[in-house]
Amino acid sequence: MAIKETIGKVTSDKMHKTITVAVTKKVAHKKYNKIIIKTNKYYAHDEKNECKRGDVVKIQETRPISKNKRWKLISKITK
C-alpha cells in the first residue's frame, strides 16, 4: 500500500511541535458540475518547530502520534 502524501498551507503554528495544515482540492458538483473547493484540515507533527503560518508544506500520513495527529511534516516548499 502506498503512503499518502499531500501538499497544503499552514494555517496555525501555535501548538508545540504541531502545525495545522489546510489541504484544498477542486471537485465538480455531482448534479450541477460546478467546481467546488473542498478543504480538509490536518494536524501534522513538526519536530523542529520550523514552519510558520502561511508556509506551503508537504505532509505524509503516519502512525497515530497523538489523539488527532496522523500526519508528519516532510518538507517546506515555500515560505
Beta strands in the chain (DSSP E): 5-12, 18-28, 35-45, 56-61, 71-78
* CATH superfamily for domain 5-78: Nucleic acid-binding proteins (2.40.50.140)
Q: Per the confidence metrics, is the pTM higher than 0.85?
A: yes
Contact indicator for 58, 74 with CB cutoff of 8 Å: yes
pLDDT in tens, the chain (79 residues): 788 999 999 999 999 999 999 999 999 999 999 999 999 999 999 999 999 999 999 999 999 999 999 999 999 998 7
